[in-house]
């Protein structure tokens, strides 16, 4: 767990939720299925003026299905039965909002022979609309909807008809979400758990307050905790995403550890130095690639105390541009720290070959944070490029990181490219299953074309990747092929 003393903002308890229920009534039309929506009163205390599905708070002694049936009758004079309801989803109102509900979303087929009549008090203008049309009208500014409504319609738009929707509802909610909000270009922007910025918002603002800016800017340091600041290098690109993330760990009393100074970009190096008040005690490099370690020596030179550069030396398999020698190698499991004012920040090395033979991750022990370098990224896939990259080593290192998460209660991963990732153990499990799924496709391609070339196999095994990415994908393909052959997986 992150130390409460390191959080940037004073925390307040989110408002308690009340149980609620809502129903999406669906009907088929020749042009696709429609859902019944109504406009909420402009005087409503929650989501005034928004187009919603009928529903409301679950009264004392009532179940969510009973509430859904009652509200549908009260608001729209429609009689539906409890056994026509299928659970679709569960939405818990965002932590920052003043009125919060824990809402079961049901779907049901509209019964024959009834017409909705709005109560003209809470609900107005009943309208049958196809999900895609509602979304298009919202986009055009003529059909106001709140976040859970939008996201629910986006998911429903994938189905062809009412039967498909009902068949897709297994009884448990298809998804459960309590969204989080950040600022993008100054505007309130919300995200579900699986979306890229969610973990970062959870780290910076556990209580959900709308305080964190998500814009990528190379010219500004981004505080994530009192003792963790991210400075992104001005090197965005296909391979680097928004740019390389350099991190500073420490505070004015302890001095700072710099992780991955990035490319040798003088403005970026100076920004790191300046943000640390010139007081950098240690420089750590996760690996030697050109967008990570070349800034280490210039940063060292800039600091009066010439802090040591620690990491692992590049192996003979590294390309010439990735040659790197630290002042001292850091051992697997070795801990280094800065301390002062009764506070210590400890970084523990976890050797993780795979992306590069000299790759190491670092755990900030006191706050259970994992600095993953390029081994785990947010928003892109790590390239495993032989011979310095090795797929079996990559997967074994994922297992090692997973164990570290379990042992240390690590929830957040701070990658060298992209936002902070949350749900660390789950994220690592997904990465591993993604690699093994790719491996299965490569095996299938090799079996389908035993005399085929890498060009043949990449088209089959990476058919979900745009052809312009195939030259890069071929490097990872080679890593898979080498692993498959080494382990005798073709049988
Ligand atoms: Zn790299």
pLDDT in tens, 53-87: 999 999 999 999 999 999 999 999 999 999 999 99
What per-residue confidence (pLDDT) applies to 120? 85
What per-residue confidence (pLDDT) applies to 53? 96
The closest of 75, 83, 36, 25 to 55, measured between CA atoms, is 75
What per-residue confidence (pLDDT) applies to 70? 97
Tell if the pTM clears 0.75, that is, is over it: yes
What per-residue confidence (pLDDT) applies to 312? 98
**466 Cα–ligand 1 center, Å:** 22
Alpha carbon distance 452, 446 (integer Å): 7
Q: What are phi and psi of 23, to 5 degrees?
A: -125, 130
Residues 390, 393, 399, 402: is their CA dihedral positive or negative?
negative
Domains annotated on the chain, with CATH: 17-177 (3.90.79.10), 179-215 (no CATH), 216-427 (3.60.15.10), 436-487 (no CATH)
**355 Cα–ligand 1 center, Å:** 7
Alpha carbon distance 73, 264 (integer Å): 67
pLDDT in tens, 215-226: 999 999 999 999
Say whether pLDDT at 320 is over 90: no
**423 Cα–ligand 1 center, Å:** 23
Say whether pLDDT at 302 is over 90: yes
**238 Cα–ligand 1 center, Å:** 13
222-225 and 187-191 strand pairing: unpaired
Say whether pLDDT at 110 is over 90: yes
pLDDT in tens, 130-145: 999 999 999 999 999 9
Which residues have C-beta under 5 Å from ligand 1, the single-atom ion? 289, 374
pLDDT in tens, 26-48: 999 999 999 999 999 888 888 88
**408 Cα–ligand 1 center, Å:** 25
**442 Cα–ligand 1 center, Å:** 23
**60 Cα–ligand 1 center, Å:** 57
**293 Cα–ligand 1 center, Å:** 10
**According to the 3-state scheme, what is the secondary structure of 474-486?**
HHHHHHHHHHHHH
**287 Cα–ligand 1 center, Å:** 7
**362 Cα–ligand 1 center, Å:** 15
DSSP secondary structure code for residue 467 in this structure: G
Alpha carbon distance 114, 126 (integer Å): 13
- Cβ of 380: how many Cβ atoms within 10 Å? 15
């Amino acid at each position: 767990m992150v130390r409460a003393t390191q959080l940037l903002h004073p925390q307040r308890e989110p408002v308690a939720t009340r149980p609620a229920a809502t129903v999406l009534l669906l009907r088929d039309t020749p042009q696709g299925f429609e859902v019944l929506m109504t406009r909420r009163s402009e005087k409503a205390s929650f989501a005034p003026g928004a187009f919603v599905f009928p529903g409301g708070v679950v009264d004392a002694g009532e179940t969510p299905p009973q509430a859904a049936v009652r509200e549908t009758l009260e608001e729209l004079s429609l009689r539906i039965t409890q056994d026509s309801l299928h659970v679709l989803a569960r939405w818990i109102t965002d932590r920052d909002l003043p009125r919060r509900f824990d809402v079961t979303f049901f779907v049901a087929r509209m019964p024959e022979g009834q017409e909705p009549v709005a109560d003209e008090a809470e609900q107005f203008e009943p309208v049958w609309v196809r999900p895609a049309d509602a979304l298009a009208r919202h986009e055009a500014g003529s059909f106001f909807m709140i976040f859970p409504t939008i996201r629910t319609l986006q998911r429903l738009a994938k189905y062809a008809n009412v039967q498909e929707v009902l068949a897709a509802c297994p009884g448990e909610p298809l998804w459960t979400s309590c969204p989080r909000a950040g600022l993008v270009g100054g505007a309130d922007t919300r995200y579900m758990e699986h979306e890229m910025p969610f973990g970062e918002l959870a780290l910076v603002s556990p209580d959900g307050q709308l305080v964190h800016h998500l814009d990528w800017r190379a010219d500004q340091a981004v505080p994530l905790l009192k003792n963790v600041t991210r400075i992104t290098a001005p090197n965005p690109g296909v391979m680097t995403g928004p740019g390389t993330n350099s991190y500073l760990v420490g505070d004015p009393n302890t001095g700072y550890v710099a992780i991955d100074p990035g490319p040798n970009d003088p403005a970026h190096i100076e920004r790191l130095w300046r943000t640390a008040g010139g007081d950098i005690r240690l420089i750590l490099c996760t690996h030697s690639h050109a967008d990570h370690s070349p800034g280490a020596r210039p940063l060292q030179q800039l600091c009066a105390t010439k802090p040591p550069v620690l990491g692992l030396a590049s192996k003979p398999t590294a390309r010439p541009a990735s040659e790197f020698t630290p002042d001292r190698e850091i051992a697997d499991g070795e801990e280094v720290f800065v301390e002062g004012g009764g506070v210590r920040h400890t970084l523990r090395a976890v050797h993780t070959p795979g992306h590069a033979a000299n790759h190491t991750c670092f755990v900030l022990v006191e706050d259970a944070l994992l600095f993953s370098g390029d081994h785990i990224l947010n928003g892109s896939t790590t390239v495993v490029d032989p011979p310095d990259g090795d797929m079996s080593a990559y997967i074994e290192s994922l297992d090692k990181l997973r164990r570290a998460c379990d042992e240390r209660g690590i929830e957040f991963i701070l990658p060298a490219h992209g936002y902070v990732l949350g749900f660390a153990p789950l994220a690592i499990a997904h990465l591993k299953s993604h690699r093994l799924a790719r491996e299965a496709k490569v095996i299938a391609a090799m079996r389908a074309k035993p005399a085929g070339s890498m060009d043949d196999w990449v088209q089959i095994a990476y058919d979900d990747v745009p052809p312009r990415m195939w030259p890069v994908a071929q490097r990872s393909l080679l890593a898979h092929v080498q692993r498959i052959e080494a382990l005798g997986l073709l049988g």
